[in-house]
Amino acid sequence: MTKCVLGVLAGVLLTSQAWGADLTGDWVFQAAPSFPRFTKMVIRQDAGGLHGTITSEWYGDLPMLDLKATGEGPAGERLVFHIDNGNPKLKPLDLTLAPDESGIRLTGQVWYEKQDATAHRATAAEMAALDFPTYPLPAPAHVPSNGLARTPPMGWSSWNKFAEAIDDKTVREIADALVRSGLRDAGYVYVNIDDGWQGERGPDGVLHPNAKFPDMKALADYVHARGLKLGIYSSPGPKSCAGYAGSYGHVEQDARTWAEWGIDYLKYDLCSGEGFYHTADTVQAVYQQMGAALNATGRPIVYSLCEYGRFDVGAWGRDVGGNLWRTTGDIEDSYASMATIGFDKNGVPRHTGPGGWNDPDMLEVGNGGMTTEEYRTHISLWAMMAAPLLMGNDARSMPRDTLALLGNAEVIAIDQDPLGRQGLPVRKQDGTEVWTRPLADGSVAVGLFNRTDKPMAMTADWPALGLGDHPSVRDLWAHRGVAPGAAHTVPAHGVVLLRATR
């Protein structure tokens, strides 16, 4: 009797295994969606059950997690699985494989991209042609400082306004506008091309710009001739965040290419690298590798780490040669996004200082999603934090109030103060925050921030701030001295920024 039940059970198991087994083998995809561009797949069944690996142009070889057979029988056989690219924020979604007249069909979704692709059974040669290379990472080593960024880098970056719609002509016009508007002379000297400049690699592996950037060296010359510096962007992964070629397998070669062009600044964005490097050690190693490669070129290149603040990057950013490191994911042009980052996700203050800075992301000032008061809070907060000031707007056509926000020399002086200490909130009450930042000349910058949506009366408690009863106080937005006892009406989402001297 028991034997009989066991026999039936075994039969059921065998049947279900059999229809899973029908889909085992080596598969090559015909044309899969561009993200994450699956290329091939190996499915096996052994004593341990079903297992497999699916290869993606973005993330390399990914284990097929929780791979199992489902469905109603041989006609409805299906395999389901999911993948994980190492991004802690993105939930893996289920993918389904089912028999199809061409072999097998994959459906489902990988984050924002719907998947629907067919694959055919492949020969060993077809599979080998799609092998994804892996590269050794360097052993931990200290990358000597490049001596740059003694104060937080200032300039402009293409991403927030132009995203991929950036080209040589626009970059030249921005350079001209920085000169014309006086913003270069106010300190905004880096003109940074973000994602979207990359073209194809030549047979020698050298990465060329795409058609929108016909001659990078000529562009660098143009920018340099105007007293400005040129920045560029890449990823340690095979793909940049927008899907262009990354530096995977070409780290030293790309660093040399940029140095030859005359590049002065690199933003190195983890992007598809998160599929390969998702432990503290590997992320650190891959950033160290580029830091060393930049130094080896002999050209001074500011090195910006963009790995979204993972693994306490401020604690090791300098060790890998970094001059700044992002503390968060991407800023958006809204008060909610800016305030969350600026007040609450601005990095560990003790890691900031001359040569290496917490980077709460580029400015949105002038992009239209916030009020003037909110943008004033944005730039004031960034100045209090000693954050890099990278304008993210269309600098060619700037209304006067945007120029006044970005070009306020007294606020820039706070940001660029040579002591390089990050300001901190010293009092939080009813949606208001008082921040202080000690400055090199012994004075103190004080920010009275109102996070509520109603005007609030705020005063500074000078004795409690260590400035005695009667400091000399200057309002950096009103550009005038104010009585130390003055009560300030701080607008909704606004700020009063003061500089006080004992």
Q: Which residues bind ligand GLA (CB under 6 A)?
A: 159, 194-195, 240-242, 269, 306, 330
Residue count of the chain: 502
Which 3 state secondary structure label does DSSP give 90? coil
* Pair of tokens at residue 140: 């931990």
Residue 193 DSSP code: -
Residue 275 DSSP code: G
Question: Which residue is catalytic, options 264, 269, 333, 415?
Answer: 269
In whole angstroms, how close is the CB of 330 to ligand GLA at the nearest point? 5
Q: Which is nearer to ligand GLA, 99 or 199 (CB)?
A: 199
Structural Rg of the chain based on CA atoms: 27
Distance CA 61, CA 39 (A): 10
List strand residue ranges (DSSP E) for 221-336, in order: 229-234, 265-269, 302-306, 324-326
Sheet of strand 480-482, all strands in order from the earlier edge strand to the far edge: 424-429, 432-438, 444-450, 495-501, 472-475, 480-482
In whole angstroms, how close is the CB of 363 to ligand GLA at the nearest point? 12
Which ranges of 319-366 would DSSP assign to H, the alpha helix? 335-339
Distance CA 349, CA 386 (A): 9
Which 3 state secondary structure label does DSSP give 197? coil
What is the torsion angle, in degrees rounded to the nearest 10, for the CA atoms of residue 369, residue 342, residue 415 and residue 462? Answer: 120
Q: Which is nearer to ligand GLA, 306 or 398 (CB)?
A: 306
In whole angstroms, how close is the CB of 194 to ligand GLA at the nearest point? 5
- Asked if 436 and 446 touch (Cβ cutoff 8 Å), the reply is yes
- Asked if 138 and 289 touch (Cβ cutoff 8 Å), the reply is yes
Q: How far is residue 357 CA from its own chain's centroid?
A: 15
288 φ/ψ sector (left φ>0, alpha ψ -120 to 50, else beta): alpha
394 is catalytic: no
Question: Which residue is catalytic, options 22, 176, 330, 475?
Answer: 330
- Asked if 395 and 173 touch (Cβ cutoff 8 Å), the reply is no
Which residue shows structure tokens 């970005």? 406
In whole angstroms, how close is the CB of 242 to ligand GLA at the nearest point? 4
- Asked if 436 and 423 touch (Cβ cutoff 8 Å), the reply is yes
List strand residue ranges (DSSP E) for 383-494, in order: 389-391, 424-429, 432-438, 444-450, 456-458, 472-475, 480-482, 488-490
269 is catalytic: yes
Q: Which is nearer to ligand GLA, 329 or 484 (CB)?
A: 329
Residue 280 DSSP code: H
Q: Which is nearer to ligand GLA, 36 or 494 (CB)?
A: 36
In whole angstroms, how close is the CB of 325 to ligand GLA at the nearest point? 12
In whole angstroms, how close is the CB of 361 to ligand GLA at the nearest point? 7
In whole angstroms, how close is the CB of 189 to ligand GLA at the nearest point? 20
In whole angstroms, how close is the CB of 243 to ligand GLA at the nearest point? 8
- Catalytic residue numbers read 269, 330
